[in-house]
Chain A
Amino acid sequence: MYDQGKVVTGLAIFVIILTFPVWYNLGATQHVPKPELPKDVKKCVETSAFMRTSHMVLLNQWRDEVVRDENRKLVEVDGIQYTKSLQLGCMKCHPDRKKFCDECHTYTAVDPFCWDCHFQPKETK
């Protein structure tokens, strides 16, 4: 084999660069998302597991019902009535977008465009 020294050194440098993200983050703890839950309210419209995986499906469904089908009936779960609305419903219990929504959205690199139009409670104060 010709130029054995150069080839082996080159390969070694290549492997080191390739695995850089792995050993650079070695030992560093990842920031685990901890969305801030409302203190006084314990129940949501669905179970936490459902909301965690499918809140966007529910929001889209509510949006279509309200905007397209004119079905603005309140959702009643266990005797509590909820408005089918992000801005006027969800944000009543989860008023802080940064501490609730963005916590997971940033972690999973999801960028929904709800806030281009809908107000957060703080924004209008």
Chain B
Amino acid sequence: MDVKRRKFLKIAGLSAVAGLGVPSAFTNLLQGEALASSSGQGNPAEGHKPAGGHGGHGEESTGTQYGMVIDIKKFAEHQGLADRCINACHTEHNVPDFGNPKDEIKWIWTDDYAHGFTEHSQYKRNAGLNELPVLLTCNHCANPPCVRACPTQATFKNEVGVVVMDFHRCIGCRFCMAACPYGARSFNWRNPREKYANGNYKFYKNGVNPNYPTRMRGVVEKCNFCPERLAVGKLPACVEATGETKAMVFGNVNDPNSEIAKVLNSNFTIQRKPAAGTKPSVFYII
């Protein structure tokens, strides 16, 4: 081939221009696409929106968001109330009890203040607080990290702002357990339908609720805010167990006329690990 020096320089120059120009044109195009897709996205869950301010504190969630206020002092006034709440929940949902902390399944449980509220200052805090049982459960966050972690959408946020688990879809990868800052999720290492020698299920306090299924081995479970009870106009089992004590108040936190909104408005409440930016929907009156 006979290429003159003059022709070679022309081709080299043109190639250099093309090499510089095309990638930048592509990046412009890609940016345009990204913008279009982000503005075209609906609002399936609050979690998909970019968090405003520090860790998502800026914006308020809209729509129904069920939440709960737990008044810790009421549990001091009524001895054994916390245990009654746990009992109501765990027998309602056929939660197994293997008597072994490694295999423990918990939907709602108690711990002391220092362990529940690790982000809050414990310096010179009144010592009596640690003797109160603090009920802990799934916080049904407005910005739930577990939902984003779940690869099968077995955990999702439903229309009424409850973080629900579809146990049929769970593949047991436990990403959600790693994502949850509150340890609200338990893994079924053992078959929850195990029985004692006498034929009884190893359920919490031997209670069997024939109207609620169990889970299977290899599935994660957690508090669901009792959607099957809400559907028939009942309160969640734990809230119902507190009865007239008003130790727990349940409702739509975004509805200004709801009882819970009034309680939130007239009391100073704290949440667990607020800096995680998950916007928990379970509030505590200390």
Q: What is the interface of chain A, defined by CB distance below 8 A to chain B?
A: 63, 67-70, 72, 87-88, 113, 116-119, 121, 123-124
Closest to A120 in B: B210
Return chain B residues, CB-CB under 8 Å to A63: 168
* Interface pick from B29-37, B47-55, B84-92, B156-164: B156-164
A interface footprint on B216-231 (CB within 8 Å = 1, 0 otherwise): 1000000000011001
Q: Smallest distance from the beta carbon of A1 to chain B beta carbons, Å?
A: 60
Return chain A residues, CB-CB under 8 Å to B208: 124
Closest to A124 in B: B210
Question: What are 14 sample pairs from A and B whose C-beta atoms fall under 8 A apart?
Answer: A63-B168, A68-B158, A70-B159, A87-B211, A87-B213, A88-B211, A113-B216, A117-B213, A117-B216, A119-B210, A119-B214, A121-B210, A123-B210, A124-B208
Q: Smallest distance from the beta carbon of A56 to chain B beta carbons, Å?
A: 13
Query: Any chain A CB within 8 A of the CB of B215?
Result: yes
B164 near A67: Cβ-Cβ < 8 Å: yes
A72 near B231: Cβ-Cβ < 8 Å: yes
Chain B CB count within 10 A is highest, among A68, A72, A113, for A68
Q: Smallest distance from the beta carbon of A8 to chain B beta carbons, Å?
A: 56
Those 4 A-B pairs whose CB atoms lie nearest each other, nearest first: A124-B210, A116-B216, A117-B213, A118-B213
A68 near B213: Cβ-Cβ < 8 Å: no
Return chain A residues, CB-CB under 8 Å to B231: 70, 72
A117 near B156: Cβ-Cβ < 8 Å: no
Return chain B residues, CB-CB under 8 Å to A124: 208, 210
Closest to B158 in A: A70
Q: Smallest distance from the beta carbon of B170 to chain A beta carbons, Å?
A: 11
Return chain B residues, CB-CB under 8 Å to A118: 213
Given the complex of chains A and B, what is the CA–CA distance between A119 and B214 in angstroms?
Answer: 8
Query: Any chain A CB within 8 A of the CB of B182?
Result: no
Query: Which secondary structure dominates where chain B touches chain A?
Result: loop
Return chain A residues, CB-CB under 8 Å to B216: 113, 116-117
Beyond A70-B160, A113-B216, A117-B216, 6 extra complex contacts between A and B, CB < 8 Å: A63-B168, A68-B164, A87-B211, A117-B167, A117-B214, A117-B215
B156 near A68: Cβ-Cβ < 8 Å: yes
Return chain B residues, CB-CB under 8 Å to A87: 211, 213
A interface footprint on B39-74 (CB within 8 Å = 1, 0 otherwise): 000000000000000000000000000000000000
Given the complex of chains A and B, what is the CA–CA distance between A67 and B159 in angstroms?
Answer: 11
Return chain A residues, CB-CB under 8 Å to B228: 72
Given the complex of chains A and B, what is the CA–CA distance between A72 and B159 in angstroms?
Answer: 13
Return chain B residues, CB-CB under 8 Å to A70: 158-160, 227, 231
B159 near A119: Cβ-Cβ < 8 Å: no
A interface footprint on B140-179 (CB within 8 Å = 1, 0 otherwise): 0000000000000000101110001011100000000000
Return chain B residues, CB-CB under 8 Å to A117: 167, 213-216
Closest to A118 in B: B213
Given the complex of chains A and B, what is the CA–CA distance between A87 and B168 in angstroms?
Answer: 15
Given the complex of chains A and B, what is the CA–CA distance between A68 and B164 in angstroms?
Answer: 8
Return chain A residues, CB-CB under 8 Å to B164: 67-68
Q: Smallest distance from the beta carbon of A122 to chain B beta carbons, Å?
A: 10
Q: Smallest distance from the beta carbon of A95 to chain B beta carbons, Å?
A: 12
Closest to A116 in B: B216
Interface residues of B in 180-236 (CB under 8 A from A): 193, 208, 210-211, 213-216, 227-228, 231
Given the complex of chains A and B, what is the CA–CA distance between A87 and B156 in angstroms?
Answer: 23
Return chain A residues, CB-CB under 8 Å to B227: 70
Given the complex of chains A and B, what is the CA–CA distance between A69 and B168 in angstroms?
Answer: 14
Chain A CB count within 10 A is highest, among B164, B168, B227, B228, for B168
Given the complex of chains A and B, what is the CA–CA distance between A113 and B170 in angstroms?
Answer: 14
